[in-house]
Amino acid sequence: MKLLGATISALSLVGSAYTQTVQNGASADTRGGQGAGQSIKILRSGSQPSREGPAENFSGKVRVDPLFEASAPGRARGSLVTFDPGARTAWHTHPLGQVLIVTAGVGRVQRWGDPVDEIRKGDVVWIPAGQKHWHGAATNSSMSHIAIVEVLDGNSVEWKDKVSDSQYSAAVRAELSTTNANSSQPRPSQRAIGDFAPKLSELTDNVLYADVWERPDLSKRDRSLVTVAALIALNRPDQLRSHLTRARDNGVTQEELIETITHLAFYSGWPNAVTAVGVAKEVFEKK
Ligand code: MN
């Protein structure tokens, strides 16, 4: 009888171990802290439909791709927001602040009462709790950012008035300090050829980049595309290298640049396209 009792308790031990394995710790095991019973969740790319930014809260064309919803006890939620050139949010506040991670292009952000700041791919923007602000694309470039907010009592944003055209067009602080040709920071061509060929350097900085590239009649993105196309067709790998990086900064995607090269194989010749794709591979792998 003793033997049978031991066998039964051994079996029930196996049984309970089995149950725990199957439930993956879904029992009241609190050693792992709150949420220990929940398994990792993977939201597959493309499984959550995009939606348009509603016209009452946004100006211009804005696409919102939801990324994740707050899941208790966590309260952060995130989305990827893509603004067409000139598009922006309305003025608004976030009860617990917001973090923006710029993933493509050039944009703008402003707190009420402060100058407008320019933001670029790779910049991380922290907006304090309760501060009235807006964010959006630059006039001639699209901009995408990942936006992360925390939910307080079910709310993560309070919307206010639209950003008027004159508010949107106010002088940009970053542009004044970092992209002005007279800034103390040397322009790329000054660093590369300034001492050796000062006139060529001056023409490059003050005519090509400060004047022609800044003209509003073509977006920066379009200027990048036509420039890259010309450099591929002319087989100029040295200049193509820096313009591929610039094109990415101006909102042209890696896929679009590879498609451009593929397209140009027919118009500029296969050897040019193969040279260009070698340069592109080098540039994209470095990024
Ligand atoms: Mn915001």
CA of 160 to the centre of ligand 1 (A): 11
**Angle between the 270-286 and 254-268 helix axes, to the nearest 10 degrees?**
160
Residue 189: predicted pLDDT = 66
Summarised one tens digit per residue, pLDDT across range 261-273 is 999 999 999 999 9
Token representation of residue 59: 């100006």
> What is the Å distance from ligand 1's center to 78 Cα?
12
**90 Cα: distance to centroid of ligand 1 (angstroms):** 9
> Residue 134 Cα, ligand 1 centroid: separation in angstroms?
6
CA–centroid distance, residue 176 to ligand 1 (Å): 24
With beta carbons less than 8 A apart as the criterion, state whether 150 and 75 touch. yes
* Domain 2-168 -> CATH class: mainly beta
Domains of the chain by residue range: 2-168, 174-215, 218-287
How confident is the prediction along the chain (287 residues), in pLDDT tens digits per residue? 444 444 434 434 333 333 333 344 344 444 555 666 788 989 999 899 999 999 999 999 999 999 999 988 999 999 999 999 999 999 999 999 999 999 999 999 999 988 899 999 999 999 999 999 999 999 989 999 999 999 999 999 999 999 999 899 887 874 444 444 344 445 666 667 777 888 888 888 778 887 888 888 899 999 999 999 999 999 999 999 999 999 998 999 999 999 999 999 999 999 999 999 999 999 999 86
Q: For residue 193, what are the CA distances in angstroms to 198, 199, 205?
A: 7, 9, 11
What's the gap in Å between 116 CA and the centre of ligand 1?
Answer: 14
Name the DSSP letter for residue 185: S
Q: How far is the CA of 117 from the centre of ligand 1 (A)?
A: 14
**DSSP bridge partners of 81:** 64, 145
**Ligand 1: centre distance to CA 97 (Å):** 8
Query: How far is residue 199's CA from residue 211's CA, in Å, rounded to a whole number?
Result: 16
Cα–Cα nearest to 99, from 119, 84, 73, 115: 119
CA 70 to chain CA mean position, Å: 21
Instruction: Say how many Å lie between the CA of residue 157 and the centre of ligand 1.
Output: 8
117 and 109 Cβ atoms separated by less than 8 Å: yes
Supply 236's token pair: 């100029």
Instruction: Please answer whether residues 82 and 105 qualify as being in contact, where contact means their C-beta atoms are separated by less than 8 angstroms.
Output: no
**Spacing, Cα 152 to ligand 1 middle (Å):** 15
230 phi and psi angles, rounded to 5 deg:
-65, -40
Q: How far apart are CA 139 and CA 106, in angstroms?
A: 9
Look at residues 246, 255, 64 and name the one whose alpha carbon lies nearest to residue 144.
64
pTM greater than 0.85: no
Whole-number Å distance, alpha carbon 98 to ligand 1 midpoint, is 6
CATH superfamily of 218-287: AhpD-like (1.20.1290.10)
Cα 156 to averaged position of ligand 1 atoms, centre (Å): 9
Neighbours of ion ligand 1 (CB under 5 A): 98
Q: From ligand 1's centre to the CA of 138, what distance in Å?
A: 16
Strand duo 51-52 + 117-120: pairing? unpaired
- φ/ψ region of 182 (left if φ > 0, alpha if ψ in -120 to 50, else beta) reads alpha
